[in-house]
Every structure is written in C-alpha cells, then in structure tokens.
Amino acid sequence: MEFFIISVIKIVIVLLIILTVVANLVYVERKVSAAIQNRIGPNRVGPWGLLQSPADVLKLFIKEDIVPSTANPFIHSLAPVISISVALVTFAVVPFGGSVELFGHQVKLMIADVNIGVLYILALTSLGVYGVTLSGWSSNNKYSLLGGLRAAAQLISYELSLGLSIIGVVMISGSLELDRIVEMQSGFQWNAFLTPIGFITFIVASFAETNRLPFDLPEAEPELVGGYHTEYSGMKFGTFFLAEYANMITASSLIVTLFLGGWQFPFLETFGLPAMMATVVQVLTFVTKVAFVLFFFIWIRWTIPRFRYDQLMNLGWKVMLPLALVNLVITGGLILAGLF
Amino acid sequence: MTTNGQQKRPQIRKKDLSLWQLSYIPEIIKGMFLTFKQILRPKFTRQYPEEHWTPPSSYRGRPVLVEEDGVERCVACGLCARVCPALAIEVQASETEELAKERYPERFEINMLRCIFCGFCEEACPEEAIVMSNEYELVFSNQEDAIFGKEKLLMTTEQLKERLEFLKESR
C-alpha cells in the first residue's frame, strides 16, 4: 500500500512537470529559432510571450476536430494516444536523483525501479512507430501514408544503431538498471568519454527516433504536405505535436542518463553536504544537463538541413550500424584489457 | 577569373577529401558556430503596430485628392476614371461660378477593394490633383466602407509635400 501511494505521488508530480515542460519547450524552440534567424519570436501573449503555449493549447482545444469521411475513425483517434503515451511512459524508468529520506520513507527518485530498464526503453521506443504508422494508414491519404511508411522505415533502421550503442554502456556498467548505470558514472567517468563513438551514434539515432531535423522525413513539409498528421486537426494534431516534444525530453534525459552521468554532480560527495541538499543538487544537475541537451536538439534543428531519403538510409545502414558495431568491438577490447 | 570578376572557387571532388572531412563533422561544427553567432547579433524585427514604418516618397500608397487652399485641385476631367484599369474611380462633374476653376467633382469615389495601386490615375492627371500617398493601412469591415468618398480622399498639400516634390523631380 505504502509503495502504491508513493508511486502514484511520484507519477503525478513527474507527469505534471513533464507536461508543463513540453508545452513550454515549444515556446523555447520558437524563441531559439527566432534568435538564430535574427528575429524576436513570440512576445505578444503575456510578458515576453510566456503565455504563448497555454494560448496555443487552448486554441487547439477549441478548434473543430475533423475526421476524414474515408478514414478509419477508431484507429484515427487511437494513433495520437499511442504516440503521446509511449513518449511519456518511457520516462518512467529514468532516474532523476539518488534516493532520499522523506517522512521516514526511503524514496528513490525514479518512478519505476525496473531491473531491465534499458530493455524497457528499447521496447517502448519501438512501440512509438505504431503511433506514426497507424496515423498515416488510417487517414486514407497518400501523403499521410507515405509519411507513415517513411517513419516506419526510418525508425526501424535507426532502432538498430540505437540499441547497439546502448550495449556498449551496458557492457561497461554490467547492468541493465539505469540507476546502476548512473552510479557507475561518478566523478567524470561519463560514458560519453568512455565510449565516444557510441555516444555519437546514440545521439544521431535519437535524433532520427524523435523525427527531428535533420531526420524529420516523416513530416517533411515540402514533400509530404504535413506527413503522417496531414489529416489531423484540433487537439489530435496537438497531441502529435506535444508527443514530438515529449519524445525530445525523453531522448534528452536518456542521453543524459546513459552517457552524461545522469544526476551525478562530479565529486559531490567530497563537499560534505547534508543528504537533503545533496539530493536537491542532484536533481538540479539532472535538469540542467537535460536542458543543455534540449538546447542542442533545437540548435541542430536550425543548423542542418534535411537529408534526402536515400542519404538517410545510407547513413543508417552503411555508417551508423557499422560504427555502432565498431564501438562494441572497441569497448569489448578495452574491457578485456581491464581499462574500465 | 570569370566574367563578373569573381574568383572561381576550386572544385572539390569527393575522392580528394580525407575520411575526417567525409564524416561532415568539421562542416557541421562550422555550421553550428555560425548559427550560434547569429543568436548574439542584433534583431531585425520591427514591432509593427507600435513601431510604424514611414515609406519613402516613391511609395505608392492609397490614392488621395490634393487639397489646396481648402478646395480640391480636381477639375473633374475624368481622365483618371478613364485610365483606371480596375475601374475603381467614379467621378461626377458639376459646374461652379464661385471658384477659380469652372468644373469641380460633385462626387469623387474610389473603391479601395478594386484599386490595384498602379498609379495610372496619378500619371494621367493633368492638374496633379490625384496622387499616391504614403498610407498603406486600409482596413474595412464591410464593402460599403471600402468606397472612399471625397471626405476620406482629401489631403492637404502640406501632408503630401514629399510626394509632390518627388513627382516634380521625376517628371
């Protein structure tokens, strides 16, 4: 019972925080893109345009929800739900702090302490394809279908290098538990430094997994109108939109957890802070790192143009996959030599 | 050297590139630095409703009638209405004894929904009585409001000083 209540509280808090961050990430993206293009960006709604996201969400809720007459209405409605729930549920295993003692209970700062965390992540990110593909298929529109097919092909191609680059990390820490992986990265023993190739392949693959530029082929506007969400309107479209940003947050927190030391603040234990303070610092460290990776996501989006479809496939199969395999061999060799 | 005097850039072939260059990583880093530098540079955005743009005198805004000494210059010859390609102008002439001129427009209407801002009326006018102003904010809530009568079209010579001088120079 106690475990149940604690879990529910954690879920509610984390869900609220993530949904708020997702909404405001849209604002941040628009501001950063504006800055990169020498513009100002949204500044009309509220101070500095901070109320832009609530206004947008409100607008999407009020808008008419149009379902094409030839669409499959059940799957048409189901697809955005799959997209957003997969994006949010993946966050369940991400540890955002060590354990803390609250009101006499030892609370771990992650929602689900699963001992196969990495497998859980890989399983769920593959599920994300269904949302995109089903939405493309059920719309009964050739552009949507093309977008959905592209998404399926792209996600499957990059899933491989994503998984293989995680295996390097798993080999080093010898565990599938994310908590354990983070603990192994104390000090500056970040996996990003230990397996640099794996780090790069993971970042590139997660860009492809989240459908962000330079890999946003499933929704390439000039070619596919809107891609898989062409036939969506109102809050169903908004759900896809939010799912994209929720995916971004999940991907960033995975990059941080697996490669950038998670909530570890280097050499925090030497400062001799009280336990409560240390936990606050850990959570803040995690948030700051995620924020930096998110900025990197946005920064890349406004720097690099979109790949052509054949280039995308070439990169995925002929470059990323061999690189991930090479990374495995190198990491294995280093472990065999006893360096880690 | 090409004909326009620019140095032709040496052609880069894929076989000449090293593996490091082929990975695109140096170019991506270069691009990232470029976009980051843009963040620090001044912004170009004009905060429009607060920060109004005044067009140069060569700008063709909405056509207006020139008012000199309290009377419009127009003698209602109807040339503007004749030349208007969009048939936006309607003039109804009338005779007068009181003014220096013999004819004056009893009614002068421009349908701003038809006007295409070509400036032919201004060019055709023998009296320089209809000119293009620098106003570009035209908002109406119904079609009747879009038909501008004399009361909306008249503008004093002081208000149109820049445009009139520009016309003098360019003619």
Domain ranges for chain B, please list them.
12-41, 63-170
Is residue A298 within 8 angstroms of chain B, CB to CB? Answer: no
Helix/strand/coil (H, E, C) string of chain A? CHHHHHHHHHHHHHHHHHHHHHHHHHHHHHHHHHHHCCCCCCCCCCHHHCCHHHHHHHHHHHCCCCCCCCCCHHHHHHHHHHHHHHHHHHHHHCCCCCEEEECCEEEECCCCCCCCHHHHHHHHHHHHHHHHHHHHHHCCCHHHHHHHHHHHHHHHHHHHHHHHHHHHHHHHHCCCCHHHHHHHCCCCCCHHHHCHHHHHHHHHHHHHHCCCCCCCHHHCHHHHCCHHHCCCCHHHHHHHHHHHHHHHHHHHHHHHHHHCCCCCCCCHHHHCCCHHHHHHHHHHHHHHHHHHHHHHHHHHHCCCCCCCHHHHHHHHHHHHHHHHHHHHHHHHHHHHCCCC
Please indicate whether, in this complex, the C-beta atoms of A303 and B41 are within 8 angstroms of each other: no
In this prediction, the residues of chain B whose per-residue pLDDT falls under 70 are 1-7
pLDDT in tens, A153-185: 888 888 888 888 888 888 888 888 888 888 888
Looking at residue B1, what is its pLDDT? 44
Looking at residue B83, what is its pLDDT? 93
pLDDT surpasses 70 at A252: yes
Task: Number of A to B CB contacts under 8 A, please give it.
Answer: 33
Share of chain A above pLDDT 70, in %: 98
Is residue A40 within 8 angstroms of chain B, CB to CB? Answer: yes
- Report the DSSP beta bridge partners of residue B95: B103
Looking at residue A152, what is its pLDDT? 84
pLDDT surpasses 80 at A217: no
Looking at residue A141, what is its pLDDT? 82
Looking at residue A340, what is its pLDDT? 65
Mean pLDDT rounded to a whole number for chain A: 84
Please state whether beta strands B63-68 and B71-72 pair in parallel, antiparallel, or not at all (unpaired). Answer: antiparallel
pLDDT in tens, A22-43: 888 888 888 888 988 988 888 8
Please indicate whether, in this complex, the C-beta atoms of B34 and A303 are within 8 angstroms of each other: yes
CATH class of B63-170: alpha beta
Cα B96 from Cα A209, distance rounded (Å): 80
3-state helix, strand, coil in chain B (%, to 5): 30, 20, 50
pLDDT in tens, B32-46: 898 888 888 888 888
Looking at residue A246, what is its pLDDT? 87
Please indicate whether, in this complex, the C-beta atoms of B43 and A39 are within 8 angstroms of each other: yes
pLDDT surpasses 70 at A325: yes
Chain A interface, mutation test: which of B23, B39, B40, B50, most A Cβ atoms within 10 Å?
B39
Tell me the HSE value of A155 on the side-chain side, using a 13 A CA sphere.
23
What's the residue count for chain A?
A: 340
Instruction: Give me Rg for the CA atoms of chain B.
Output: 27
